[in-house]
């Protein structure tokens, strides 16, 4: 054999042996977890998260002692409130975590449109156009107010001059239901008149600022949540 080829062969063998000793190999007789299993890149932590325990680390990134003292939790009223909130799945962060596909912008656009439609329908004494958006209790409350107004011989004129972009105020997930609180701020003109009195445009009352929170409830993580207005309150 040519001396140069022999030298190259020896170099290849040495390099191959060193790589094998560093990276390790795996065969059926080797146990997982040793050097030969290093290529798994801690995949067990993803496949069996409940069996994986991560050691706590200090500010410098070093692992702390396994017997570090536990921090006592406050058992006062705040802890009880937090525990209940966790059990109920309350909070926008929780909703975004469990349902990352939730289209918040589309929902808020729909809530703004529903707000306008419902106010106008209520003022017109006809909830038919918005019946599908109302929960049973809210619909009953609106119907009762309309009947009382009609019995008093009055009509309501409502005009929405400006509606700020709504914002999600809170969320509560319980079972297969999600309830979203929407904060709404609008400049509105609203006035009651005798039913047979024409509206005097020159004497309309000045606009007022309405700050409300409307709560919508729908099916959680569903392609058709079927949102219903289930509560309203001033904010």
Q: Say if 41 falls within a structural domain.
A: yes
Tell me if 68 is assigned to some domain. Answer: no
Domain for residue 77, yes or no? no
3-state secondary structure of 208: strand
Work out the percent of the chain whose per-residue pLDDT is above 70: 62
- Structural domain span for residue 41: 3-51
pLDDT in tens, 50-108: 332 333 334 444 444 333 333 333 445 455 545 544 545 578 998 888 888 889 999 99
Residues 107 and 209 in one domain: yes
pLDDT reported for residue 1: 58
* One domain for residues 43 and 102: no
Domain shared by 13 and 99, yes or no? no
Domain shared by 183 and 98, yes or no = yes
Q: How many domains does the chain have?
A: 2
Instruction: Give mean pLDDT, residues 202-226.
Output: 92
Residue 58 lies in a domain: no
- Residue 70, in any domain of the structure: no
- Checking if the pLDDT of 189 tops 60, the result is yes
Model confidence at 233: pLDDT above 90:
yes
Q: Is 221 left (phi over 0), alpha (psi -120 to 50) or beta?
A: left
Q: Which residue has the higher pLDDT, 16 or 181?
A: 181
Residue 63 maps to a domain: no
Both 222 and 144 in one domain: the answer is yes
Same-domain check for residues 119 and 199: yes
In a domain, 108, yes or no: yes
The per-residue pLDDT of the chain, averaged, comes to: 74
Percentage with pLDDT > 90 across the chain: 49
In the chain, what is the straight-line distance between the N-terminal and C-terminal CA atoms, in Å? Answer: 92
Are 147 and 38 within one domain?
Answer: no
Q: How far apart are CA 204 and CA 109, in angstroms?
A: 29
Indicate if 113 and 46 belong to the same structural domain.
Answer: no
* pLDDT greater than 60 at residue 42: no
**Residues 110 and 209 placed together within one structural domain of the fold:** yes
Identify whether residues 44 and 93 lie together within a single domain: no
Per the structure block, which two tokens stand in for 94? Answer: 């929780």
**Residue 182 CB neighbour total at 10 angstroms:** 22
Q: What is the CATH number of the domain that holds 227?
A: 3.10.450.240
- CA 188 to chain centroid: 30
Torsion sign across C-alpha atoms 50, 56, 60, 62? negative
Does residue 80 sit within a domain?
no
Same domain, 136 and 212: yes
If asked whether residues 109 and 170 sit together in one domain, one would say yes
Residues 122-174: tens digit of each pLDDT? 999 999 999 999 999 999 999 999 999 999 999 999 999 999 999 999 999 99
């Amino acid at each position: 054999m040519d001396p140069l080829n022999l030298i190259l062969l020896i170099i290849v063998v040495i390099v191959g042996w060193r790589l094998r000793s560093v990276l390790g190999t795996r065969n059926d007789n080797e146990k997982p977890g040793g050097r030969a299993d290093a290529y798994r890149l801690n995949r067990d932590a993803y496949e069996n998260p409940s069996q994986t325990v991560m050691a706590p680390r200090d500010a410098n990134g070093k692992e702390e002692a396994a017997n570090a003292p536990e921090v006592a939790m406050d058992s006062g009223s705040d802890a009880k409130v937090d525990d209940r909130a966790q059990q109920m799945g309350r909070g926008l962060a929780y909703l975004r975590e469990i349902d990352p596909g939730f289209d918040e912008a589309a929902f808020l656009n729909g809530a703004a449109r529903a707000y306008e439609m419902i106010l106008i329908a209520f003022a017109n004494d006809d909830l038919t156009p918005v019946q599908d958006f109302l929960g049973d209790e809210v619909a009953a409350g609106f119907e009762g107010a309309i009947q009382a107004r009609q019995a008093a011989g009055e009509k309501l004129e409502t005009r929405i001059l400006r509606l700020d972009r709504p914002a999600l105020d809170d969320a509560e997930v319980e079972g297969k239901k999600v309830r979203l609180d929407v904060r709404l701020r609008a400049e509105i003109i609203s006035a009651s008149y005798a039913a047979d009195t024409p509206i005097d445009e020159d004497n309309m009352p000045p606009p007022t600022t309405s700050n409300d929170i409307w709560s919508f409830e729908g099916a959680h993580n569903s392609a058709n949540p079927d949102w219903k207005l289930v509560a309203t309150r001033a904010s």
